[in-house]
Chains A and B, each alone.
Chain A
């Protein structure tokens, strides 16, 4: 089961970094760095997406792998950052 947040992140990663429509197969805990899915500018793209899509402001100090290096980490970060982020189950 995925939340809407997770779904949107997955779609972004698939389209933007994997150039694919297959957004369901990536392991939510997989490190985006260690699997070479994301590089230096990729992180900046990711931050831009999170800010625009979830209407939040990512502080410099929050741009750390603990918050952004996996889908699961990003979902947790967003929930922590903005409890109002839609976490309904995506059915």
Chain B
């Protein structure tokens, strides 16, 4: 795991190429503190900062082919590199190192850009092909590793994080109003858009090819589901469970490939427990596990974490994350996420990564992705129930099931049945809307746009984020089962746009921790997409087939445990006597007027309301507060005061 950066046809004559690369890679040192390297030509340059995990002695980058006409700078891991290497060796290729980087290089020499399709891994790759005078940038299928780019005065610049691009003279950060609208609707900007104007990201499963002044961005893989009613997937439930177990064990096994110790995050939920149990079966050493705990019972999962630790006998370390801790680190968190967030949840994961690093670890397994791939979230149940009720709108009994949704949200559970029905029935009839499953969530999130300033609202006049998302969906989307449609929205959008970035790569790599996600092995994802929806959600029982496949490895209390999503204290972390100093400053009328994104008077009232209510702050207000505060922080860190 590492950081990469570089350029194609830089026209910055005011700065020597080596110096430019050095400036860019220096601000990515947290991603790879072990060593760094450059390769600079007039036409192109690559830089690399390394977190040594495989082939500690021989894997230096940028790496060249034998005649030094092709150069690679690569961030990530290719988990099937051993098999690919053997295959290449049998075809006569010789290797100078035992690294996965050299495997990519040889594959590229043989197959060109198509080599990406053979890789099973999490990667952001830059290859400069001097023979073709072509730059290739590529990103893994699920969007685990990031890569950003921008064009300026004829040059193209790229890097693992936006902050490296801001080291290029002439490139500055300005928040993009459309991105703000999208983040305050979906929680993330729609790739390739980022929070910043004129800076884009390579979307997951895409390749960028730049040659002769022409830039092409194209997909090399896409998430696909069977058409509704097609029964090609019809087969025995036990066989599906068996195949799934084999795939998941193999995905975990190859993710243990490392020349440094691999630990695991343990949330106490089903997914991380499955991984810990699988590792326990296939690896001889005692597994080191890490978890974050909270003071409030509403968020804390210690009881279940301890149960798994006892059951598996792992060597466990827990770190307590208080509201004060969240407030204290939030500024650094936003410096890492490089986008506003509407929840504080990235902060405890930032603290957890720091904790794992302090214990000497560079690599951890995580259960991320299982809820998307196997339909674990309550939003899938909610959509199913809304459709169930819409089939018979006058039914008195069907809406009683709404009480089963979101058992972990106390304020929702306090509602009268009539009000619950009223909440969930909004938009219930829009069954043909492709965003049907997510409209309630998008509406709830969008309420925070109430605080946008008149100028920002003016700038956004006529723009509709929902319509842009609808228009971006694949042609065959409407032919999929409703559960598959909802899963696509989570897996292809929220997962890379928020979970794997703001709660994943960005907060873990802030402390040089590489997260590995067996549930997101593309073989698992492709197999799961073909599993009949009723085996993923049986009735209102989520992740049915996953539980069935893996239940033998887990204590019953864990395998039957209902989904408890990871959440953390939100606005409360920034209120009261212990509120960090920056909160009052950034939410002051003066600062809000200076940045211009929000209505200062309205924000003042929100802040006062949150202060008055503290723990009683509601979901809408929490989201708005976090969104406003993080936007202000982002502006301060990147736009108003760059380089601070």
Residues of A whose CB lies within 8 Å of any CB of B are: 15-16, 18-21, 33-34, 36, 39-45, 60-61, 63-66, 69
Contact = CB atoms under 8 A, between A and B. Distances in A.
Contacts of A18: 450
Contacts of B443: 36
Nearest to B622: A41
A43 B419 contact: yes
Contact of B451 (A19, A41, A64): A19
B422 interface: yes
B416 interface: yes
B609 A40 contact: no
Given A19-B606, A36-B444, A63 B450 contact: no
A41 B606 contact: no
A64 B414 CA distance: 13
A20 B451 CA distance: 10
Contact of A15 (B409, B446, B605): B605
Contacts of A43: 415, 419
User: Which 4 pairs across A and B sit closest by C-beta, in order of nearness?
Assistant: A41-B618, A19-B602, A64-B418, A19-B605
Given A21-B601, A34-B426, A40-B419, 12 more contacts: A16-B609, A19-B603, A19-B606, A20-B602, A33-B422, A39-B444, A40-B423, A40-B618, A41-B411, A64-B418, A64-B419, A65-B419
Contact of B422 (A15, A20, A65): A65
B619 interface: yes
7 contacts: A19-B599, A19-B601, A33-B423, A34-B426, A39-B423, A39-B444, A40-B409
B618 A36 contact: no
B-side interface mostly? helix
Nearest to A48: B616
B622 to A, nearest CB: 10
Contact of A60 (B416, B447, B599): B416
Given A18-B450, A33-B426, A64-B416, A42 B609 contact: no
B412 A40 contact: yes
A60 B417 CA distance: 10
Nearest to B443: A36
Contacts of B414: 40, 44
B444 A63 contact: no
A21 B426 CA distance: 28
Nearest to A21: B601
Nearest to A16: B609
Contact of A39 (B416, B450, B609, B620): B620
A66 B409 CA distance: 24
Given A19-B606, A33-B422, A42 B620 contact: yes
Interface string B390-427: 00000000000000000001011011101100110010
A18 to B, nearest CB: 7
B8 to A, nearest CB: 46
Interface string B425-458: 0100000000000000001101100110000000
